[in-house]
Structure 1
Amino acid sequence: MIGVDRIEDMRRRARGGEPIASIARAVGVSEPTARKYARVEDLSPEPPKRKEPESELLAPHRETTGSWPGDDCRNWRKQRHTAVRVHVRLINERGCEGSYSTVQRYVKQRREEMARERDRRDAEGFLQLSWLPG
């Protein structure tokens, strides 16, 4: 990884009009790397990817499907709803026309929400215990 000081050195030399080849030799990087850092204006990281919009196909079934994973927490691991099982139930019981990948994304999101909620509850359930020394 190239340090910030080397990047600033490449940028300063490029602003001074020095050729890319001599910048690369002086700093000890390849010419494409020197060119890349000489041209870049902002070295800030890219913003995070935005969330995909939720599927409108699953919206009418959200209340029903949202309770299935919650009910499963009391079941044995092998008997819980997988994304395949949720997809099959939606087609058979509700007549949903959503694709498997849509259901899979929803199930993954729902499981992550449940895990965050469970972690939050667990964190609230403990007290910080401290005693004076001695």
Structure 2
Amino acid sequence: MLRTHISTTLAPVPAGPYSQAIAANGFLFTAGQTPHHPVTEDTVGETIGEQTRAAMENLAAVLAARGLDFSHVVKATVHLQEPARDFAGFNAVYEEFVKAPYPARTTVGSFLGDFLVEIDAVAVIPA
């Protein structure tokens, strides 16, 4: 299996031994993107809406590094620090980025430290 490392300076640098994304067998698998500024690494925004927008912009940058956009995304996994409180606010911003037919999605509650949301995706790479 051929795996290709995908990286961009327009999204935060990985904080550990992982890639921003890997392309393999016609798919792009992204690491979770957080609401951190790509250069300063500071958390962007305080509300779930602001942080979701920042995380989605980081995810968009990783997709774009392989020539893709949200129309190529077939599956997303979303981690929310406080799902009961933040689901509606997250969803409102998320829907600005993805269009019908929407990607399949799993949303879970997770301990995320000092930020509210993390999003990863699987996208189809056109032949």
TM superposition score normalised by structure 2: 0.26
Q: Which has the larger radius of gyration?
A: 1
TM superposition score normalised by structure 1: 0.25
Going by fraction, where is helix more abundant, 1 or 2? 1
Higher relative contact order (CA 8 A, sep 6+): 2
Going by fraction, where is strand more abundant, 1 or 2? 2
